[in-house]
């Protein structure tokens, strides 16, 4: 997996959506004072993941030329999500898409009666963002983005949606047994490289490193899929 420029904290749910499907993804964002952001992205599926999802689509009776990543369907699904002003995604081919997403406010992003995944606060001149993901919150988050992705992750038996208690090695063994060892190896070797630029210099980052206005993270994809331990990230500037 190649995740060369991923704007992490403000659009972590988008990272889940595309990163969990073993995509090659490039996401760039302009973050504004007050918590809004404009996001541009390009995403395409990796070969083994693409082959698996194509075969699953065929089994479900879908046309062979139907988009695996359906930009129009994803746009429609995400457009009504809290905290999003607009979404425009289009397919460049059946397994790749590109487009833009406008986030009105990170503090409202995917919020619901069940709670928030992201907490945004401003106090005494310091702004902070805290993101927490665990096995209770992850299925709720993914279900708000796209039923298609939820179905794919269920087919991959990912604990992030199944809620099953598996450690990383147990999950890789399950993928290898049901599908193939090469697919399990592809998942095991994947890391998310994430960076985000802020309006002002950062003063604290938990879960990553920072220099000036930029924070950087390196996260094994397997940690996200399995969620053996809750993931928590905090930034202050």
pLDDT greater than 60 at residue 71: yes
Choose the weakest-confidence range: 41-45, 61-65, 84-88: 61-65
Neighbouring-strand partners of residue 186: none
- pLDDT value at residue 172: 94
The two most distant CA atoms of the chain are separated, in Å, by 57
pLDDT in tens, 186-221: 788 777 767 777 788 889 988 888 899 888 877 787
pTM of the shown model: 0.69
Report, as an integer, the average pLDDT of 41-58: 72
Q: What percent of the chain has pLDDT over 70?
A: 72
What are the start-end ranges of the H helices in 156-216?
159-162, 168-178, 181-189
* Nearest one of 192, 204, 181, 186 to 231, comparing CA atoms: 192
Mean pLDDT of 60-87: 76
Q: What is the mean pLDDT of the chain?
A: 75
Share of the chain above pLDDT 90, in %: 6
What gap in Å lies between CA 165 and CA 228, rounded to an integer? 7
User: Which tens digit of pLDDT belongs to each residue from 159-177?
Assistant: 888 888 899 999 999 989 9
Which pLDDT tens digit goes with each residue over 120-133?
788 888 888 888 88
Measuring CA to CA, which residue among 62, 61, 80 is closest to residue 70?
62
Rounded to whole angstroms, the Cα distance separating 202 from 187 reads 32
- Do residues 234 and 128 lie in contact, with contact meaning Cβ atoms separated by under 8 Å? yes
Task: Please give the Cα distance from 197 to 92 (Å, whole number).
Answer: 28
């Amino acid at each position: 997996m190649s995740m060369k420029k991923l704007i992490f904290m403000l659009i972590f749910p988008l990272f889940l959506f595309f990163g969990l499907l073993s995509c090659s993804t490039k996401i760039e964002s302009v973050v504004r004072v007050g918590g809004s952001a404009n996001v541009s992205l390009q995403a395409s599926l990796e070969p083994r993941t693409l082959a698996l999802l194509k075969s699953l689509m065929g089994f479900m009776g879908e046309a062979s030329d139907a988009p695996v990543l359906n930009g129009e369907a994803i746009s429609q699904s995400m457009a009504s999500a809290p905290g999003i002003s607009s979404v425009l995604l289009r397919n460049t081919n059946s397994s790749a898409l590109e487009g833009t997403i406008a986030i009105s406010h990170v503090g409202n992003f995917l919020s619901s009666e069940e709670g928030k995944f992201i907490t945004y606060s401003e106090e005494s001149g310091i702004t902070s963002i805290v993101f927490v993901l665990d096995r209770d919150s992850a299925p709720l988050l993914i279900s708000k983005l796209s039923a298609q992705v939820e179905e794919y992750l269920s087919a991959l038996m990912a604990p992030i949606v199944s809620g099953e208690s598996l450690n990383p090695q147990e999950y890789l063994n399950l993928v290898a047994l049901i599908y193939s060892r090469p697919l399990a190896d592809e998942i095991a070797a994947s890391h998310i490289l994430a960076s985000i630029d802020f309006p002002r210099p950062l003063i604290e980052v938990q879960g990553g490193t920072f220099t000036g206005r930029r924070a950087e993270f390196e996260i094994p994809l397997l940690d996200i899929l399995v969620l053996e331990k809750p993931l928590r990230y905090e930034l202050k500037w």
